[in-house]
Structures are given as structure tokens and as C-alpha cells.
Structure 1
Amino acid sequence: MKKITILLFALVCVKGFSQSKTTGVINLTSNMTANFTLNNTTSKVTLVLTGPSDRWFALGLDVVQFFNMSSGDVVVYTTSLNDRNYVGTVAPAIDASQDWTTMSNNVNTTTGIRTLTLERALTNSDTNDFQLPYASTNSINVAWARSSFASTSLANHGGANRGFATGTFTTLGTEDFSLNATSIFPNPSSGEFSIKTKTNLSKVNVYSQTGALVKTIEVADDSNEVELKVSGLQSGVYFLELQNDSEKSWKKVIIN
């Protein structure tokens, strides 16, 4: 019965956040994606960017096909994230103001994919940054590039290792204060997760894909923030059963 319950709840769609809109996942190439979410309540943009873990990769914001690279906003990952701007066909110059914050940086050792969760204000006074005012931003053009071989030193990316894409923003639903609106990050992770809810949380049960109970955490004082640490587990998919006095919710996490 537990296995069936897990599978049913794993298919439930989570309601969106208040005054937010997202592009969803923009597929750039075989191992690069981008996902922008604009939040009018916090005045922040969240960018989830994936790319190869063994070389540099970059994403230019509001860049159209056949642009001349004379100017523009770009984030580049080498051994760390850099906020940069285009100055021609040479390597993008590092911006004097580093406005992106790296919220998480995880590598899946099986697939070789790095996942970055980045955050920045929607608008600021930095003339090198592409501004994203919530009300008027309905789409975004991006250019992507990556090294053609394993290297974190910026150099020519090779003709096949760059391209262009457009993301269209879709408004999310009304704010959800139930356990369904719980956020878990980083995800995937090596086994350490931060759980944040918009309501109280009493207990967290961790289950394997086969329905086996792995761990139970009793949450002190019905807090809405919990640090979950599960060590020694095999890589794979696990389900978290979140509970309080009035409801339950299920979340999927990945341990790499």
C-alpha cells in the first residue's frame, strides 16, 4: 500500500508561487539547459543553468542570433561563476559588479552535468546587466556556448558549440501555503538537503523508490525549516513524506 501511495503522490502537480512567471526548461543543447523564474514578490530572478562539469560554459542574456558581440550580459562558469559582458570577439570581460549569487552548485558524477541555481535582482543600476522588469518581461533571447574540449580556460568554443534560443514566460498560479509549496534545495545533492515550507512541519519520512522507510525526522517546535542529512545511501531517487497536523505532501529528491 505504501508503494502505491508514494507513486500516486509523486504524480501530483505542485501549485506555483505568487506573482511569479517562468520560462520552464529551455533546452539549449544535449547537456545544457536554462530555466528563468521571475518573482515579483521578492523582486528576484532565479536562473537554473545546467552544463558540462569538465569545461567552461556560458549563457548570454537578451542576445539575438547573428549579434556582433559588441555588448551584452553574460554569465560564464569556469571554476566558479563570473558575471561578465561582451566586448567583441575576445573573451567576455568580468563585470565590475558581480550581481549573481550562486545558491547551489551540484555535479552529477554519473551524467557529468553541473547544475547551478543562481539568483539576482530583477532590475538594478548596473548598465552591463540585462534588466528584467516583471511587468514587461514576457520572453528572453539567449545565446549559449561551451568549450569544445575539457578545459576551464576561456578560449574559442568551436563552431558547433554555441547557439541561440528563446524562452517565453508563463505566469504561475496563486500562492500556495500548504506543504505542497515546500522547497527543497539543493536537489540533486550528495545527501544534504534544506527543506523550507510556508507552513509548519512536524515530521519528515524518507522512503526509497521501493517504498522502504529509510529515515524519520521529528521536527522540533513545528519549524518551517529543516536540515535533512542522509549519509551512506546509494545514488538514486528517494521520496520525502512531509507531515503536519492537518496534511501530508510528497517530494522527490535525487542523491548523487
Structure 2
Amino acid sequence: MKKKITLLFILIAGFANAQLKSTGNVALGTNMTANMTLNNATSIVTLTLVGPNDRWFAVQFGSFNGGMEAATDVVYWNGTTLVDAVHVGIGAAPTTDSTNNWTLVTNTNNAPATGQRTLVYTRPFSTGDSNDYTFNFADNTLDLALAKHQTASFSMANHGTSSSNRTLALDVSLVLGIDDFSLNASTVYPNPSNGNFTITTKTFLKSVDVYNINGALIKSYKVADSSENIEFNITDLPSGVYLLELKNDTDKTWKKVIIE
């Protein structure tokens, strides 16, 4: 059964041009939540998905009428990675897309404190893949369906009908958000790229340090001005995964980038 959720509209004077819309944290049972935030400035959607460590969990999104419907976009945690897929209907495993268009930001194992895992992934509004839902910032609602396996298993199967495991289909209001002016809200795009990146930030950025995936410092750059869009070139580095440490006098954050 579909459930209508209306979330509080948040708008504070001085932030009338906010570029974020979010579903807020949508819960299934006691140990699974999903949050989708749309950034109109970068045309990037951020998915924060929390679920149990010992079984698969999934979220389907887009525009649909029921639960896990065929031909709808879905992602699920398989114990190793977030799988980009398209649903083929109840009782069958989703079909994996030929290209995974979701980029990992963080993967945090919260056990043993909570027995949960927190995943943060990003994806462009439009990927050009016919299997992928195209997000539209002008939309006021987004349909979500959440599910997880009823027992500890990563084998894709019917997730059961109990209140703690069933598919929960929601018509969720996308709420205009308040702009985040911390360094954590900075974005780096396109990502992946050939080494030419743009860093977009709404606060002063003083320096950028580049590390390899093993944590070794490779380069350090000083930022000359406080422009919101900073062109950043590391085309001289070989293909691979790198970590950028963005810093100013009071704040710092990490961003992962991929050079193809």
C-alpha cells in the first residue's frame, strides 16, 4: 500500500535561492533508512542508504504506483558494493545495468555498535542509460520503495511481508533545503574525468592536498581566491583513484576522485 508523506517545507529568509531538495530520512523498520538529496547547481543526486550489515537491502526510486515494480530503477547492497540495476518484478532478482553510474563517496561499517552500514553514493540526474531514472529538480515528489531480506543473507530472494521487512512504497515530498556553507558541501565534477576537475564550494577554500589511495601525499595546491568554481588540473597523474583534502582555516573535508 502506498503511503503519502508530507514533509515540513523549510525556507529561511536569505536562502531563497537554495539549490538543494531532499526526501529527508525515510525509514523502514528500525534499522534501514534512505535519503536522496538533489543538488540543482551540479545536477547531482546524493543517496545516503543505511541498512543491516548481514543482508541485502535495496531502494527503488522514480515514478511508480506500487512496490517493487518491473522496469523501475533500483540499487541494492550485495555485501560488497552498491549494485545499479533495473527491477524485473516481485520474486526475481533485478537485472544488473551494464554500467554502474553511482560513484562511492563513503562506505562506513557501523558495527558492532549498531549492526548497520552507511553508504553514500552520488549520480548525475541524467546518465543517458535508458534503465536509469532521470531526476528533475522541479519535481515536488519522488516515489521510493525500500526493502531488505527477512533473514541474514545476501542471496536475492523474496524479502517477506512482515512489517519490518516488507516493501515500503512512499510518495515522498522533496523539500527545499537550506544551503550548506561548510566545506563538506563542496562538490568535485566531472567525476570521473581525465584529470580536469571543477571544485564548487560556497565557502572560502584555502588549499587542496592530493593523496593516492594508500594515503601518501602527492601534491599540495594553494587557492588564490575565494571563487565558488575553482578549476583544478591533475592531468599529469596516472589513471586511478585519488583523495582530495579540501581545507581552510576552520574546516576540512575529503573528496574521492577518479582519473580515467
TM-score range, shorter chain: 0.5 to 0.7
Quote the Cα distance in structure 2 between the aligned partners of 1:68 and 1:117: 22
SS in 2 for 1:29: coil
Quote the Cα distance in structure 1 between the aligned partners of 2:202 and 2:66: 44
1:53/1:69 Cα in 2 relative to 1: closer, same or farther (>3 Å)?
A: same
| C-alpha contact 1:62 1:141 (8 A) present in aligned 2 | yes
Partner of 1:53: 53
1:45 Cα deviation after fit = 0.4
Partner of 2:183: 182
Q: What are the within-5 Å matches in structure 2 for residues 224-239 of structure 1?
A: 227=245
1:62/1:29 Cα in 2 relative to 1: closer, same or farther (>3 Å)?
A: farther
Q: Percent identity?
A: 35
Q: What are the within-5 Å matches in structure 2 for residues 1-256 of structure 1?
A: 18-62=18-62, 64=64, 66-67=66-67, 69-79=69-79, 80-89=81-90, 90-109=92-111, 110-135=113-138, 137-160=139-162, 161-162=165-166, 163-174=168-179, 176=181, 181-183=182-184, 198-200=203-205, 227=245, 244=249
Quote the Cα distance in structure 1 between the aligned partners of 2:148 and 2:88: 18
Q: Which runs of 5+ in 1 are unaligned?
A: 1-14, 186-195, 203-218, 229-241, 252-256
SS in 2 for 1:156: coil
After the TM superposition, which segments of 4 or more aligned residues of structure 1 sit over 3 Å from their partners? 15-18, 63-68, 173-176, 219-228, 248-251
| C-alpha contact 1:141 1:166 (8 A) present in aligned 2 | yes
SS in 2 for 1:183: helix
Aligned length: 190
1:55/1:16 Cα in 2 relative to 1: closer, same or farther (>3 Å)?
A: farther
What TM-score does the superposition give when structure 2 sets the normalisation length? Answer: 0.62
Q: Which runs of 5+ in 2 are unaligned?
A: 1-14, 187-200, 208-219, 227-242, 254-260
1:29/1:243 Cα in 2 relative to 1: closer, same or farther (>3 Å)?
A: same
Q: Which moved more, 1:73-82 or 1:160-169?
A: 160-169
SS in 1 for 2:54: coil
Quick one: which amino acid aligns to residue 102 of structure 2? W
Partner of 2:194: none
Quick one: which amino acid aligns to residue 86 of structure 1? H
1:49-102, Cα deviation, whole Å (9 max, x unpaired): 111011100111136454572221100111211111111231111112211112
Quote the Cα distance in structure 2 between the aligned partners of 1:97 and 1:131: 15
Q: Which moved more, 1:45-54 or 1:149-158?
A: 149-158
Quick one: which amino acid aligns to residue 149 of structure 1? T
1:87/1:226 Cα in 2 relative to 1: closer, same or farther (>3 Å)?
A: closer
Quote the Cα distance in structure 1 between the aligned partners of 2:74 and 2:33: 15
1:184 Cα deviation after fit = 8.1
1:91/1:20 Cα in 2 relative to 1: closer, same or farther (>3 Å)?
A: same
Partner of 1:11: none
1:243/1:61 Cα in 2 relative to 1: closer, same or farther (>3 Å)?
A: closer
| C-alpha contact 1:141 1:164 (8 A) present in aligned 2 | yes
Quote the Cα distance in structure 1 between the aligned partners of 2:19 and 2:76: 29
1:222/1:43 Cα in 2 relative to 1: closer, same or farther (>3 Å)?
A: closer
Quote the Cα distance in structure 2 between the aligned partners of 1:16 and 1:115: 31
Quick one: which amino acid aligns to residue 123 of structure 2? R
What TM-score does the superposition give when structure 1 sets the normalisation length? Answer: 0.63
1:227/1:143 Cα in 2 relative to 1: closer, same or farther (>3 Å)?
A: same
